[in-house]
Amino acid sequence: MSTTVTREEIEQRVFKALEEFGAEPDQINPDAEFESMDVDSLDLVELAQIVEDEYGVQLKGEDMEGVKTVRQAVDLVMSKLG
């Protein structure tokens, strides 16, 4: 596991995942709410799997509670890495 992973890299990876989930590219930004992008709890479970694969960080159901935006999700990953 690289310790030099940057916030931008994680954000870009989340953006890419959201696009794969079917979110409109022009709606995707750090402060966009998942709900407004039609990204639901099933998508977030997949997002958690991607994050674990890429960064070795485990996100459990309770970790994701209250996470509504891309920024909050990236913050969560950063705090787990830190």
> Which lies closer to other proteins via its Cβ, residue 36 or residue 49?
49
Residues 13-32 close enough to bind other proteins by CB under 8 A? 20-22
- Report if residue 35 touches other proteins, rule: CB under 8 A: no
- The DSSP call for residue 69 is B
* C-alpha gyration radius of the chain: 12
Smaller CB distance to other proteins: residue 6 or 38? 38
Indicate the residue type of 24: E
CB of 6 to other proteins, least distance (A): 26
Torsion angle defined by CA atoms of residues 29, 57, 78 and 40, in that order, rounded to the nearest 10 degrees: 30
Residue 64: CB atoms within 10 A of its CB come to 18
Catalog residues that contact other proteins under the rule CB under 8 A: 20-22, 38, 42, 45-46, 49
